[in-house]
Amino acid sequence: MADSFSKSIFSQVLKLTQHSAIYAVSSVVQKLPGLILLPVYTNTAYLPSRSDFGDYALIFTFIAFMYFVYLYGMDSALMRYFFLGGYDRKTVFSSISIMLIVTGAGVTVLIILFSPALAGLILKSESYKPFVILAALILFFDSIGNLPFIILRAEEKSVQFTLFRGLRFVLELVFNILFVVFLRKGVIGILYANLAAATINLLIMAPIIFRYFKPSINWTLWKEMLRFGLPFLPNGIAYVTIETVDRFLVQEYLGKDAVGLYSPNYKFGTALLMLVIAFRNAWQPFFLKIADQPNAKEIYSKVLSYFVICAGFITLAGTYFIKDVLTLHYFSRFYILGPEYWEGIPIIPIIFLSYFFFGIYVILTPGFYIEKKSALMIVFTGSGAAVNIMANIILLPKLHIWGAAIATLASYFMMALTIYIVSNKIFPIEIEWDRILKMCIPMAALMLLFYQFELTIFARLLIIAATLIYSYFFVLRRSERYVLKERIVKVKNKAE
C-alpha cells in the first residue's frame, strides 16, 4: 500500500463502524418518539399553542438536566471498571447499582417535597407541581433502567442493545398515542406516557440486572469509582447546561411562545446528534479495548479523519434538504413540522454544525479515560457552558432564536478546541490536518453559500453530488479507496 494505512487497522475501524451502525439504529429509535410525535405535538388539536409546546420543552429540559445528577458519573465509572480496574464485573456492577438506587430514591423524595417551588422556578407557576412530580419518577426509573444498557454496551452486544431500545421506543410511542392523541391529556399526557414506558422498560430489563447483581458493596472499590466518576457530575451538568440552558434563557428574554418555536426546530437539528451518540456508544468500549495496542493512537487519528469526512458530508446534505423534508405536505394530509413553526427552520443547519464539533470532542476523549484524567473534563464542558450562557445573554435580545442557535455552535466549538489543546499535552495524537482541512474548508464555504443564495433543488443536488465525489477522490487516500472497493466486492459476492 502507498501509505501507513494497513488492512489490520482498517478491519478494526470497520468493526467500530459496524457497531456504530447498529447503535445508530438504537440511537434513532431512542429519539424517534420525540421526532415521530412532533407532527402531533406541533398540531394545535393536541397542544393548542406554541406556549404549550414551551411547557413540554421546559419540563423535559429539567429532566435532561437532572439525569446527570441521578447518575453523578457512575455510568462512566461502570464502563471503565468493566475493562480497566482488575475487579470482578459483578462486584463493579453491584457496588454501583445499589448506591444509585439509594441516592436516586433520596433525590426523588427531595424533588417531590420541593415540587411547588420547582414548578414555579421552571414553569413560572406552582400549578405545574404534578409535572415536576412525574418528572422525578421518570428520572428514578430511567436512571436505574439505564444500567443494563451500559452492560450491553460493555459486552459489545449492540444488536441486543438496539432491540431493547426499540422496545422502549414502541412503549413510549404507544403510550403517547393513548394519552395525547386519544385521551387528549396534553403535556401531562406526554409525562404519563414516559413514566409508563420507563417503568415497564425497567421490569423488562431486570433479568440483565440480576445477571450481574449481588447484594453487597465493595466499599474500597466504590470509593475508587466515586473518585473517578464524580468529576463527571460537574462535567455532565456543564454539558447539559450547553444542551438545555438556552430554553430557559429564551423563556426569560423572549417568552414561552419563543421556546415553543425554538425547541421543535432544535430537535430536528439533533438528527446529527443521534449519529454522534451512536458512534460514542461504540467508541468508548472500542478505544478502551485497544488502548494497549502499539498502534492505538494511529487508529484514533484515522477515526477522527473518517468522522470529519462522513459527518461533514451528512451536515451539508442535511443543511441543503431539511426544509424540503419538513415542509412537504405528505399525502396532502399532514406536515412533519406544523406550519406555525416553519419560521424557525433556518436555525437547524446551525445545530447540525454544532453537533459536528461535538463529534470531534467525543473522538478526542480517550486519553482522559486511559490516563484517569476525568477531572479535566469539566474544563472543556465548563468553558463551553460559559460561552453558551454569555453568548445567549448577548445575542438573544438582538437576534431572537438565532442567538440561541449561534450560542450552541460557539459552545460546542469551544469544547472541541479546548479538549484538543489539553489532550495534545497529556495524550498527543498525530492528527491528519491536511485531510481535515480539505474537508472543512469546502464545507464552510458551501454552508455560507446556502445562506447567501436561494438555490434550486437541482443546484443543491448537484452540489451534494459534487461534494461526495470530491470527498472520495481528494480526501480519501488511494489505499483507502482500494480497501473500500475490496470490501464492497466481497459484500457483493456474498450477496450473490
Inter-axis angle of helices 377-399 and 232-254, nearest 10: 10
Are residue 64 and residue 7 in the same domain, yes or no? Answer: no
Q: Looking at residue 1, what is its pLDDT?
A: 41
Length of the chain: 496
Which residue, 169, 194, 229, sits at the end of a domain? 229
β-partners of residue 334 are 330
The count of structural domains within the chain is: 2
Are residue 28 and residue 50 in the same domain, yes or no? Answer: no
| pLDDT tens digits in sequence order for the chain, 496 residues long | 444 445 556 556 655 565 555 555 555 555 555 667 778 888 777 888 888 988 998 998 899 889 888 988 888 788 778 766 567 778 888 888 888 999 999 999 999 999 999 999 999 899 999 999 999 999 999 999 888 888 887 776 777 877 888 888 889 889 999 999 899 998 999 999 999 999 999 999 898 888 888 888 888 888 888 888 887 788 778 888 888 889 989 999 998 899 999 999 998 888 788 778 777 777 877 787 778 888 888 888 988 998 999 999 999 999 999 999 999 888 878 888 888 899 999 999 999 999 999 999 999 998 888 887 877 888 999 999 999 999 999 999 999 999 999 999 999 999 999 999 999 998 988 999 999 999 999 999 999 999 999 899 999 999 999 999 999 999 988 877 877 777 677 666 665 5
Are residue 287 and residue 318 in the same domain, yes or no? Answer: yes
- Distance between alpha carbon 91 and the CA centroid of its chain, in Å? 29
Q: Looking at residue 153, what is its pLDDT?
A: 75
Which residue, 197, 229, 261, sits at the end of a domain? 229
Are residue 30 and residue 100 in the same domain, yes or no? Answer: no
494 belongs to a structural domain: no
491 belongs to a structural domain: no
Q: Looking at residue 2, what is its pLDDT?
A: 40
Are residue 116 and residue 16 in the same domain, yes or no? Answer: no
119 belongs to a structural domain: yes
Using the CB atoms, write b or e for 48-63: b if 16+ within 10 Å: eebebbbbbbbbbbbb
Alpha helical stretches, state H, 328-432: 348-363, 366-370, 377-399, 401-426
Please list, in sequence order, all residues whose beta carbon lies within 8 angstroms of the beta carbon of residue 386, skipping any fewer than 6 positions away.
Answer: none
Query: CA-to-CA distance for 12 and 20, rounded, in angstroms?
Result: 12
Are residue 107 and residue 138 in the same domain, yes or no? Answer: yes
Instruction: Please provide residue 102's backbone torsions phi and psi, each rounded to the nearest 5 degrees.
Output: -65, -50
Please list, in sequence order, all residues whose beta carbon lies within 8 angstroms of the beta carbon of residue 398, skipping any fewer than 6 positions away.
Answer: none
Helix, strand, coil shares of the chain, percent, nearest 5, are: 85, 0, 15
Are residue 261 and residue 331 in the same domain, yes or no? Answer: yes
10 belongs to a structural domain: yes
Q: Looking at residue 113, what is its pLDDT?
A: 97
Are residue 113 and residue 223 in the same domain, yes or no? Answer: yes
309 belongs to a structural domain: yes
445 belongs to a structural domain: yes
Are residue 47 and residue 156 in the same domain, yes or no? Answer: yes
Enclosing domain of residue 314: 1-36+243-483
Q: Looking at residue 224, what is its pLDDT?
A: 84
Which residue, 170, 197, 229, sits at the end of a domain? 229
Is the entire prediction scored with pTM above 0.85?
Answer: no
**Nearest-CA neighbor of 422 among 368, 355, 362, 354?**
368
